[in-house]
A and B are shown apart, each in its own frame.
Chain A
Amino acid sequence: MTPTPVTPTARRLPEETTVAILGGGPAGATTACYLAMAGIDHVVLERAHFPRHHVGESLVGATNRIFDEIGFLEKLDAAGFPRKQGAVWVPKSGKNPHAIRVVPDKTFGGLDYTFHVDRARFDHMLLDHAETLGSPVYQGALVNGVETRDGRIESVQVQHEGETHTLRTRFVVDATGRNTFLGSRFRLLQKDTLFDQYAVYAYWKGVGRGPEETAGYIHIHFLPSERGWVWQIPIDDETTSIGVVTEKADFQRNGQDSEAHYAHHLARNPELSRRLEQATRVSNLRSEGNYSYSMRELVGPGYLLVGDAARFVDPIFSSGVSVAIYSAKFAAEQIAHVVAGERPEAEAFGAYETQMRAGVELWYDFIKVYYKLQNLFTYYLRKPEYRDQLVQLLQGNVYDARGITVLERLREDIRRIESTPGHVLQEGLSDIPI
């Protein structure tokens, strides 16, 4: 296939490309960076005009590696986002918060911190970065159809500047986030039966951030209800994102509107209440629900799903952006193998699926164990023999699971608790199968 000439400022959509990337969030933009670096012809089709708002502000340490590889880490570091070096878990009593320093591996880019980011600005910077690497990025380009022949996508339909275009393409990377463009269309989506959470969040000013050493950490304030917690994420010197996460059923059962629900839960952790005493809310309330699902397949003839378009579980460990950009890297690498004629497509895409699933399954296992008995997690974080591996997981180093034994140990302990009649921790166990 003859590559279409690539011009970063191209405003008219080409008629043909090698890779059509649907969506310009972290997953799409990162895929674009890798493809641009590999010299593979592609286009990014993003329906919004950036900057656009997005949830998911706290990054994990493993992201440094990808940002370093695509030459973005320096820009990110220079942008002045709050530095993140750990997490604090605040028990529901509000007493004895447990802080854990989680410092990224300095081999990747030399930084011993990651970031909390205003996603509107961050996503915009990343997409701009793809453009500087030579990616043709089309904003305001809504993908609203695909045409297939013999089970293979042949072209995508794009609404751009009031016109409908047909873009012929050899490959499609679906990076449309929770919009799950292909997953919904091809009926691959499976709702998660274990998690049905609901999040409501807003920005505040004047939130108390606690002791100096941990002021830049993400805070997880436990709530006295199953699977309920509140995130506290610094956005800049003054602004803090405060999000309430509960089971959706909890929200519906109480029959409250989002405002009442939000206020009700914010008052339930004494330490959080203290921190909000002098604070004022400076944004509207936003809510997110129905966000836990998986896909029956992550690839098919000519297409790959990356980031949230492939899977989203639960935001408790801030894994979303990390999964988005790692899956982007893995997908771009496999596409490069196929384009270079080094591997047949089915084999290459199968390898992507295996790699992506392995990582996400580890996150998922971790999340299940965590919600099974939330407090047990902070207990084990104190134990030297568990801590190192837990920290490795918290950083997002989940794609090479060899040697990760800690989850099995936690599961064994939970089974012992379950099988001991009258065990003191039994009442705290949720019904999640582990």
Chain B
Amino acid sequence: MTSRSEAAAGGQGVKSENPSLDRTSLDRTIAEVTRVLLERLELQLDPAEIHADSEFFDDIGLDSAAVLDLVIGLEESFGIDFDIAGSDPEDFRSVRCLARYVESRR
């Protein structure tokens, strides 16, 4: 687990050298995460209520099955591999956190 968090931290460190580029790329990832979320999951929610800081468990009401479904969607969409068993709960707090995590795995 430590090695993964370090990798994530390192990834962010490299990207922050170019903050403006980083921002747009993160925004795009946030949009894509939101799209996959809406498309794959049957949510009892108005899509307009979902934004970057929506929390998966408290605001969106995901359970672990839905999280896995989302992860599968993101893996397919971004062509990345989540190390789901080794994941940090913090990465799954909000849409933004997850988008950051996705960026770190690319």
A: residues with CB less than 8 A from B are: 91-96, 222, 270, 373-376, 378-379, 382-383, 412-414, 416-417, 420-429
Interface centre among B41, B66, B85 (most CB of A within 10 A): B85
Q: Please state if B64 and A424 are interface contacts (CB–CB under 8 Å).
A: yes
Q: Which 9 A-B residue pairs are closest in the complex by CB-CB distance?
A: A428-B64, A413-B85, A422-B89, A416-B85, A424-B92, A425-B64, A375-B68, A375-B65, A93-B42
Does B69 lie at the interface of the complex (its beta carbon under 8 Å from any beta carbon of A)?
yes
Given the complex, which residues of A lie within 8 Å of B81, measured CB to CB? 383
- Complex formed: what's the CA distance from A425 to B65 in Å? 8
Given the complex, which residues of A lie within 8 Å of B69, measured CB to CB? 91, 93, 95-96, 375
Bits for B51-83, please: 1 = Cβ < 8 Å to A, else 0: 000001000000111111101110100000100
- Complex formed: what's the CA distance from A335 to B63 in Å? 53
Q: Please state if B86 and A416 are interface contacts (CB–CB under 8 Å).
A: yes
Given the complex, which residues of A lie within 8 Å of B88, measured CB to CB? 420
- Complex formed: what's the CA distance from A429 to B56 in Å? 18
- Complex formed: what's the CA distance from A421 to B90 in Å? 11
- Complex formed: what's the CA distance from A210 to B65 in Å? 23
- Complex formed: what's the CA distance from A363 to B40 in Å? 32
**A423-B42 in contact given A375-B65, A379-B68 (Cβ < 8 Å):** no
- B73's closest neighbor in chain A, by CB? A96
B: residues with CB less than 8 A from A are: 1, 40-42, 56, 63-69, 71-73, 75, 81, 84-89, 92
Interface centre among A96, A425, A429 (most CB of B within 10 A): A425
- Cβ-defined partner of A428 (8 Å) among B41, B63, B89: B63
- Complex formed: what's the CA distance from A420 to B89 in Å? 8
Given the complex, which residues of A lie within 8 Å of B41, measured CB to CB? 93, 95
Given the complex, which residues of B lie within 8 Å of A95, measured CB to CB? 40-42, 69
Given the complex, which residues of A lie within 8 Å of B72, measured CB to CB? 96, 378-379, 382
A91-B69, A94-B42, A424-B67 given; name 19 further pairs at CB < 8 Å. Answer: A91-B65, A92-B65, A93-B41, A93-B69, A222-B65, A374-B65, A376-B84, A379-B84, A383-B81, A414-B85, A416-B1, A421-B89, A424-B87, A424-B89, A424-B92, A425-B67, A425-B84, A427-B63, A428-B64
Q: List 18 A-B contacts (CB under 8 A).
A: A93-B41, A93-B65, A94-B42, A375-B64, A375-B65, A414-B85, A416-B1, A417-B85, A420-B86, A423-B87, A424-B56, A424-B64, A424-B89, A425-B64, A425-B68, A426-B64, A427-B64, A429-B64
- B81's closest neighbor in chain A, by CB? A383
Q: How far in angstroms is the closest Cβ of chain B from A386?
A: 12
Given the complex, which residues of A lie within 8 Å of B42, measured CB to CB? 93-95, 270
Given the complex, which residues of B lie within 8 Å of A428, measured CB to CB? 63-65, 68
Interface centre among B40, B63, B73 (most CB of A within 10 A): B63
Given the complex, which residues of B lie within 8 Å of A423, measured CB to CB? 87, 89
Given the complex, which residues of A lie within 8 Å of B65, measured CB to CB? 91-93, 222, 374-375, 428
Given the complex, which residues of B lie within 8 Å of A427, measured CB to CB? 63-64
- Complex formed: what's the CA distance from A422 to B87 in Å? 10
Given the complex, which residues of B lie within 8 Å of A378, measured CB to CB? 68, 72
Given the complex, which residues of A lie within 8 Å of B40, measured CB to CB? 95-96
- B88's closest neighbor in chain A, by CB? A420
- B98's closest neighbor in chain A, by CB? A424
